[in-house]
Chain A
Amino acid sequence: MCLGIPGQVVDIVDAEQSLAKVDVNGVRRTISARLLTDDNLKVGDWVLVHVGFAMAKIDEREAAMTLDQVQKMGADYVNEIEAFTASEIS
């Protein structure tokens, strides 16, 4: 029920009725963008889709930063393993 899936806007079907066509993994459907009227939705934008509504714009920069943050959280261990692998104690 909380299921929200990422989809890319491929067409603004009816700007007045706030209807947009999104592509979710190859499947294209019309959904309501009524909840994002403040966001100035354009073709190419990515949105979170839930029960036929776009709930939020997916911020690509934030997504990249989150992945970056995840990498950094694991970095200490990875660095340690790399250092260990590189050591040549005899």
Chain B
Amino acid sequence: MKFVDEFRDPAAARALVKSINDLAAGGEFKFMEVCGGHTHTIYRHGIEHLLPESVELVHGPGCPVCVIPMGRVDDAMWLAEQPGTIFTTFGDMMRVPGSAGNLIEAKARGADVRFVYSPLDALKIAVENPDRHVVFFAVGFETTAPSTAVTLVRARALRLTNFSVFCNHVTIVPPIKAILESPDLRLSGFIGPGHVSTVVGLRPYRFVPEVYGKPMVVAGFEPLDILASVHMLLQQIREGRCEVENQYTRVVRPEGNTQALKLMAETFELRPHFEWRGLGFISQSALKIHHDYGEYDAELTFQMPGVRVADPKACQCGEVLKGVIKPWECKVFGTACTPETPIGTCMVSPEGACAAYYNFGRLHRETALVLGQRG
């Protein structure tokens, strides 16, 4: 596949790893990747095992599915169970557990829950079913919010009256700030989100070097992209530089996507605060539908329960999301909590650190431990 295969070349990866070894020698570096897609790539291609021990990768709260609190999932299920509604959602939200099961179980009980690839598919369902009310479960960072924005504009152009959006879009800067403010972590730098940056550009991250003195490199999603970004971070540190750099230049422009930002400003407003699973309430970290598009806001159309539900006591998703513990350090990892029977969202979403590690990382690690014991 073009633009994919070339960025997975093993020979180039080996050479890059050797250079990283040299740059990192004698130091101790902790880099956090914020984006769930990066966590997935790292585990899937065994990147942590290629890196020297002096470089540790810490997984941050960049999975927009993982950070949705149980109460909001319960609200989604409530919407799905309203008579006459068709509840549409991205696939990854289907198995996220609320306090009374998940959307797939609601579907099994008779709710009309449909998986969609795009919000535009949800719109089509609304057009084709004028006697039913279609709700779209909008989830995602700034990567996905523009798509919801275009869909809202289109809904208005079509004069639809049977469509609404349950908006759970979150923004990337506040959690990064929360991580930097957290006393738990001593990070050396950040691997910045790739696709969010195609929308927001590079400027929003300036506070990371300027206020907190940490370097950031915005990275692509292939193994060579991640390795190159680690190299660039180490190079910055060695040279005494501290700035935001762009490794993903083939799609990220410094100014971002102006059309997307304009549409988002028209159709969304910032919520004063929003609860993030594991991180608590963060101010100005999430979007709601703009009052100008109020007729498409599910939270206005419906009287939703809006109950706040605490995470199960056994669940340590919060600590995993902040990078304080690794997936295998969670007490219920792989035992009570597996992809088939997930307790928390880190295990449900394919981009959650626990799911990624469960699916790709365990064998490497267990093999490494066994080999280590053999001496």
A52 pairs with B90, CB closer than 8 A: no
Asked whether, in the complex, the Cβ of B351 is within 8 Å of the Cβ of A56, the reply is no
Contact indicator B15/A48 (Cβ below 8 Å) = no
A1's partner among B3, B65, B118, B253 (CB-CB below 8 A) is B65
By a CB distance below 8 angstroms, the chain B residues around A31 are: 118
Mark out the residues of chain B between 232 and 252 whose CB falls within 8 Å of any chain A CB in the assembled complex: 247-252
| Chain A residues, CB < 8 A from B141 | 2
B144 close to A51 (CB less than 8 A):
yes
- The answer to whether A6 touches B147, judged by C-beta atoms less than 8 angstroms apart, is no
Query: With A53-B118, A66-B250, A73-B231 given, is the CB distance from A2 to B143 under 8 Å?
Result: yes
Contacts A1-B349, A34-B150 given: A62-B250 contact, CB under 8 Å?
Answer: yes
Number of interface residues of B (CB under 8 A): 62
Contact yes or no, A25 B19, CB < 8 A:
no
Bound CA span A39–B186, Å: 41
Contact B259 A52 (CB under 8 A): no
User: Cβ of A2 and Cβ of B36 under 8 Å apart?
Assistant: yes
**Distance to closest chain A CB from B158 (angstroms):** 11
* Inter-chain pairs besides A36-B257, A66-B225, A71-B15, 4 sampled, C-beta below 8 Å: A38-B259, A50-B195, A53-B118, A55-B251
Q: Which residues of A contact B (CB under 8 A)?
A: 1-4, 6, 8, 25, 31-32, 34-38, 46, 48, 50-53, 55-60, 62-63, 65-67, 69-71, 73-78
- Top 5 A-B pairs ranked by shortest CB distance? A74-B15, A52-B118, A2-B37, A77-B18, A6-B3
